[in-house]
Structure 1
Amino acid sequence: MTSSMGITMTLANSIIGVSVLAMPFCFKQCGIILSIVMLLLSSMLSRYACHYLLKAAIMARRRNFEFLAFHAYGPTGKFLVELCIIGFLMGTCIAFFVVVGDLGPAIVAKTLGVDDSSRLRSSVLVGLALFVVLPLGLLRNVDSLSAISMATIGFYVCLVLKVVVEALPQLLAGDWMEKVHLWRPSGIMQCIPIFSMALSCQTQLFEIYESLYNASLDRMNDVIKAAINMCTGVYICVGFFGYVAFCTQNFTGNILMSFAPTTSSEIFKLGFVLSVAVSFPLVIFPCRASLYSLLFRRAIVYHEGASSHIPENRFKWITIFLVGASLGVGLLIPNIELVLGLVGSTIGVLICVIFPAAAFIRVSPKASSERLAAQAVLFTGVLILFLGTYATLYSASEAASTKLDVPLESGKLLHKGQSGVIKNKLLDKNIAGEVADTLAKAQAAVDPAAAVNNKKPPEELVVPDAKQPAVEVGPPAAEVRREPPVPGARQEPPVPVEPPAAPAEVPVAAPLKAVTAGAPKEEAAPVAAVHMDVAPAAAVEEPPKAEAVAVAGDPGQGQVRAEAAVKVQDKHEESPQRQRVAEDAIRKEDSELAEAQRQADSEKERKEAELLETLARHKQEQEQLLREQKHILHEMKQQHEKLQAAVRTSGVCCVWGMPIK
């Protein structure tokens, strides 16, 4: 058992994640006052959700998500909750590896003077997984991480001080109020996924509760309140001072990338990587429990007082599987940010907001003001689910339509990723600013009016390097790897980048039409493609009818269509069979659960009968002992009376212990 301070630090470490790096971006999008209001509302929502989750578990006498779901919604609810927790937390682990893989190799390459290659990325991830993540993940108790959690919170305090130092020049100048937004509701949709999940810790709540000495609902509420208030203060400080420090720059969602390239900045990047690495166990603990409950359900009895202890061998193998699977996905398939963003904005809200309120409403016996407040939390969670999913899909579509043209000194292109934060636009800000100023001055010298109208931000200027024969062009945004969100303890849905201004239209539609009319059919397609690149989307007209006629006249195409129709028909014929197989599997699972419940009930009845028999036997033994004691007392009384009669007849008396005749 640990003190309340250690438990508070561990819970705070499970709350703070990569979302802290996105706070300046959120303050920029929503304004300072609106962002603070959103963070305060998010803290209230998280506190209420944690309270309802714990109170429902205490009322039902179930101490984890799986048992509580089984008590409230039966085997189906338990199965769905297990799948949601495993998917959500596995996505978080993968997101952690992606974050470390994007930040760590650059730091190691700069420190050791080697090339930043894919082999270095793999080596860094494997090394951290073997020597940091796996040893910490094999710990059984959360209270073993108290010292590490305190060190991590200390790093975030140092990060706040670093951001304050960066903001001092703007604060001392006194003109920062004119450069920032105080209230900007137009950016709220982009930041709802981050604000809603920035303070969530529900998946780690039961592990923390079991480690609390003399645990009770009031003591745990105090711990939750202290941890959430601490994290809210860190978020507000980083967001406010980070926004003020870089209000004159076009920064993105990773505030570390806006720091000047100094030794202290590299130390802070390394510290953030290590803080993410040591936070893995807080995600592995609940994920391991859910996976064990899903795979070995027959070994678990779902009644009051049942133990969730995992045998040693299964404990080790499940931990190794979780670390290895998340590492493998992070190494082989790093570009899965959209899927992870959707998982965080849907399953994360389901587990962290909707399920706690729904479970409390289900377990609560009667209507009350607290039940009404839980219904309000449930409605808010459903609203956040739809708005967060819409914001994630919208940001993905915007990113797919925006091209990133950011060349580096070495000729390579680095990417922006998303994970609740827009990731790593790894561009040297000083060089970009000098290039932008030089071009702006040259353009102003030629035509001042055109220079003002056509001014672009530094990150959109592409300057070729004279030393290199060619400069690579940035890939489309759909192919750019974005950092995935870190749900729960760290999962935040992606933060979209503000799309750049639309380029001015070039009036070339009429000449292209003339060229197209005079060209043969074989050359019409290339000209149309050029027209689509230059003209607006609304002005492009495609000839679908001609293509349809050409396809209809092809006999091979008709055969392909017939084969496709046969495949579709076979698929429709197979679907009822698959449905029957699924129904059989569900019925089999329900029967297994019912059989397990019957076995548990019979075992309980047998133990109760044995207990009653033991109590009856003990009662008989006690009655026999009582009778024997009464008999002994009766004999002693008779002997005492005989002794007194003998004394009277003998005429012997005692005075001060001396016999006198």
Structure 2
Amino acid sequence: MEVKQANATKLKADFFHGGPGKNSPTTGYTSDESSPLIGGNVAVVSPSEESTSGKTSTFGAVFIVVNACIGAGLLNFPSAYQAAGGVAVGTIMQVLFLFLIFSSLLVLAVCSDVRNSNSYQDMMQSMCGTAGNIACAVCVIIYCFGTCVTFFIIMGDQLDSILALATHNDQTKYWYTDRKFTITVLAVCIVLPLCLPKNISILKWPSSVGVIGTIYVAVVIIINYYLLPTNAATHIVTRPTSWTDVFAAVPTICFGFQCHISAVPVYASLKQRTVGQFAWVITGALLIATVTYVLTGIYGSLTFGDRVCSDVLLSYDSGNVTVTVARVMILGNMLTSYPILHFCGRLAIETIYVTARKLPPAAAELTQTRRRIVETLSWFVLSLILALFVPTIGSVISVIGGLAAVFILVFPGLCLIQLALNSASADSSKSKRRFQIVLGVVFAALGTFMFGESVTAALMVDFGVISGGTVDC
């Protein structure tokens, strides 16, 4: 498969205008794409040989990666810190994970250079063949769907508090203030119309400033720690009650730092597409995200202790003006983020459909409109129904956070192993290949463990086998 290197303008057009290239998942694959590379030799090419220069600066790339990182997961960090055994344990776990996250992002850059891939799925196709691409598409669908459910839950959380302020905390239960009603109305009137179009170009500016809203939330949490009176009854967890408690923060950390799906197109769009330049990009982005998450986790934990809600904003009084502004900003961010995640999931569905049916581009385009409407309505209705009956974002993040570990570690690990196995004829030393294989195995094993542990723990909590360690608000 000859994947053309796209510049930043092309990438933005493909994503926001629904204009995939000729080899994209929505229009079918070339004949080369049907031949897996597993077991064969991979010709490693230099980015300068076959790619065109991108237009994204280092600073711009840092902002894009930060925007991909910081989001809904921010609200769950204080709760995750307390469940894991306190701010010290939570912070240490986060710092340790940073090394894995940083390394796996570099692995993605190296592997995407093999065939100048410009998307995560293109990279999986080039390294692991069609089977790897389909596996990646399935995970993208599940991850994006779970994230969309989380967005609806967060919308409901913020609406509850905003309406409580508007009604002056009137305890009377009105039908128009019922959570299920407000989420449904907001979803049908605003979210659904944004999901139906073929392109989502209208969202490129609102979504690009979403990171400002989440950083504002972190600032509000810090400021309110000093402004609010100290509650003597607050119990702050300082150590885990069991060694297994430390893993409670894993899903939130993985969910919060999962920027890997966006990392490959960002790398492809750099003015200087080199691994060294990309290292500077992810260093800056991860530093900003880490500081934001750590401060939110620490100050949220110190303010509310073990009584902090899984959505930290719910722990504050509905009359707090600064927090109300934060709720409005988060609500707006979720309204524009849902269609983007849905768009990514819809493209992944198209990948599986077109591949399974072996449709040529012309045939796939004929029924594209009907498929888009059916896929969108099905996705929307199912995610809305789940959000209406799932009580907290912690319940969803505990599952999709584990799945994020697959994108962060498992897939990069498999690609690194494949790179080492297929570079025997290239200019690569035996010791280097052995190191790549060992590192790839470690990545894949750790990612699989994190995924299994997170999902198992979530199921045990759901069935009442163990306590979830979080507060339902």
TM-score (norm 2): 0.71
Alpha-carbon deviation of 1:126? 1.3
Paired residue for 1:50?
105
Amino acid paired to 1:37: I
Residue 338 of structure 2 is aligned to residue 280 of structure 1: yes
Amino acid in structure 1 at the alignment position of 2:79: F
Q: Indicate conservation of the 8 Å contact 2:65/2:282, yes or no.
A: yes
Shift of 1:157: 2.4
Q: CA deviation at 1:424?
A: 5.5
Letter in 1 for 2:381: G
The CA deviation string for residues 624-643 of structure 1, in whole angstroms up to 9 with x for no partner, is: xxxxxxxxxxxxxxxxxxxx
Q: 1:123 to 1:65 in 2, by over 3 A?
A: same
Q: CA deviation at 1:310?
A: 12
Q: C-alpha separation between the residues in 2 aligned to 1:109 and 1:163?
A: 20
Which SS does the other structure have where 1:246 is aligned? helix
CA contact (8 A) 1:204 1:286 kept: no
| Deviations 1:252-288, CA, capped at 9 Å, x for gaps | 3221111122233222212112112222355245434
2:140 maps to 85
Structural mapping, 1:141-290, within 5 Å:
145=204, 147-149=205-207, 151-168=209-226, 181=238, 186=243, 187-247=245-305, 250-262=307-319, 263-280=321-338, 282-290=340-348
| Cα separation, 2, equivalents of 1:178 and 1:250 | 8
**Contact 1:93/1:283, CA 8 A, preserved across alignment:** yes
Secondary structure at 2:177 match in 1: coil
C-alpha distance in structure 1 between counterparts of 2:231 and 2:472, whole Å: 30
Q: Distance in 2 between matches of 1:351 and 1:178?
A: 36
Matched AA of 2:147 = T
Distance 2:81 2:302 in 1: 10
Structure 2 CA distance for partners of 1:20 and 1:339, relative to 1, 3 Å? closer
Q: Could you report, residue by residue, the CA deviation over 1:161-181 in whole angstroms, capped at 9, with x for unpaired residues?
A: 2112221158x9899999551
User: Does the CA-based 8 Å contact 1:180-1:244 persist in structure 2?
Assistant: no
Q: How many Å separate the matches in 2 of 1:355 and 1:318?
A: 29
2: distance between equivalents of 1:183 and 1:88?
Answer: 29
Residue 362 of structure 1: CA displacement?
0.5
Q: Partner amino acid for 1:242?
A: G
Aligned-pair distance for 1:348?
3.3
* Separation (CA, whole Å) in 2 of partners of 1:319 and 1:358: 32
Aligned to 1:139: 200
Q: 1:36 to 1:151 in 2, by over 3 A?
A: same
- Deviation, 1:140, is 6.2
Task: Indicate conservation of the 8 Å contact 2:416/2:436, yes or no.
Answer: no
Structure 2 CA distance for partners of 1:296 and 1:58, relative to 1, 3 Å? same
Name the CA shift for 1:161/1:70 in 2 (closer, same or farther; >3 Å).
Answer: closer
- Gap change, CA 1:128 and 1:5, over 3 Å in 2: farther
Asked if 1:129 is matched to 2:191, the reply is yes
**1:361 lines up with 2:423 in the alignment:** no
Describe the superposition over 1:148-200 as per-residue Cα deviations: whole angstroms up to 9, x where unpaired. Answer: 35532222222222112221158x98999995516766431332222233211
- Measure, in 1, the Cα distance between the counterparts of 2:374 and 2:271: 31
Aligned to 2:447: 381
The verdict on how the C-alpha distance between 1:212 and 1:148 changes in structure 2, with shifts beyond 3 A counting, is farther
The alignment partner of 1:213 has SS state of coil
Distance 2:297 2:156 in 1: 25
2:365 equivalent to 1:325? no
Offset, 1:112: 7.5
Evaluate the alpha carbon distance shift between residue 128 and residue 73 of structure 1 in structure 2; reply closer, same or farther with a 3 A threshold: same
The residue identity in structure 2 corresponding to 1:255 is V
Q: Distance in 2 between matches of 1:310 and 1:271?
A: 42
Q: Work out the percentage of aligned pairs sharing the same amino acid.
A: 15
2:71 is paired with a residue whose SS is coil
Q: Can you give the 5+ residue segments of structure 1 that lack an aligned partner in the other structure?
A: 302-308, 403-417, 426-661
Per the alignment, residue 35 of structure 1 pairs with 90
Q: 1:139 to 1:31 in 2, by over 3 A?
A: same
**Which of 67, 80, 97 is equivalent to 2:152?**
97
Look up the match of 1:601. Answer: none
Instruction: State how 1:485-524 maps to structure 2 within 5 Å.
Output: none
Alignment partner of 1:10 is 2:64: yes
Whole-Å Cα distance in 1 between the matches of residues 363 and 102 of structure 2? Answer: 30
Deviations 1:310-352 (A, max 9, x none): 9988776666555433321133343368995675255433333
Tell me whether 1:63 sits opposite 2:125 in the alignment: no
SS at match of 1:261: coil
Question: Where does residue 77 of structure 2 map in the other structure?
Answer: 23
- Structure 1 counterpart of 2:249, which letter? C
1:571 maps to: none
Highest relative contact order (Cα 8 Å, sep 6+), 1 or 2?
2
Q: What SS does structure 1 have at the residue aligned with 2:463?
A: helix
CA distances 1:484-519 after superposition (whole Å, capped 9, x unpaired) = xxxxxxxxxxxxxxxxxxxxxxxxxxxxxxxxxxxx
Q: Report SS of the residue matched to 1:63.
A: coil
Change in 2 beyond 3 A, CA 1:104/1:14: farther
**Alpha-carbon spacing, 1:319–1:54, altered in 2? closer, same or farther (3 Å):** farther
- Counterparts in 2 of 1:219 and 1:346: CA distance versus 1, 3 Å: same
Paired with 2:265 and 2:101, the residues of 1 have a C-alpha distance of 17
1:191 & 1:174 partners in 2: Cα distance?
25
Unaligned runs of 5+ in 2: 1-7, 9-55, 169-173
Quick one: which of 158, 177, 185 aligns to 1:116? 177
Q: Secondary structure at the match of 1:198?
A: helix
Cα distance in 1, alignment partners of residues 201 and 438 from structure 2 = 38
Kept in 2: contact 1:354–1:382 (CA 8 A): yes
Distance 1:360 1:8 in 2: 24
**1:235 offset after TM fit, Å?**
0.7
Question: In the superposition, relative to structure 1, how do residues 323 and 422 fare at CA in structure 2: closer, same or farther (>3 Å)?
Answer: farther
Q: TM-score, normalised by structure 1?
A: 0.52
- Map 1:350-429 onto structure 2 (within 5 A): 350-364=406-420, 365=423, 367=430, 368=432, 369-398=435-464, 425=473
Helix, strand or coil at the partner of 1:68:
helix
For the pair shown, the structure with the greater C-alpha radius of gyration is 1
Deviations 1:438-497 (A, max 9, x none): xxxxxxxxxxxxxxxxxxxxxxxxxxxxxxxxxxxxxxxxxxxxxxxxxxxxxxxxxxxx
Query: Aligned pair count?
Result: 394
CA 1:149/1:347 → structure 2, altered by over 3 Å: closer, same or farther?
same
User: Against the structure 1 CA distance between its residues 101 and 254, is the aligned structure 2 distance closer, same or farther, given a 3 Å change threshold?
Assistant: closer
RMSD: 3.9
The corresponding residue for 2:21 is none
| Structure-2 separation of matches of 1:392 and 1:65 | 27
Shift of 1:383: 2.1
Asked if 1 retains the 8 angstrom alpha-carbon contact of 2:399 and 2:454, the reply is no
Aligned 8 A contact 1:284 1:319 in 2: no
For 1:360 and 1:392, locate their aligned partners in 2 and report how far apart those are by CA, in whole Å.
30
Q: Distance in 2 between matches of 1:379 and 1:241?
A: 33
TM-superposed CA distance for 1:236, in Å, is: 0.5
1:638-649 equivalences under 5 Å are none
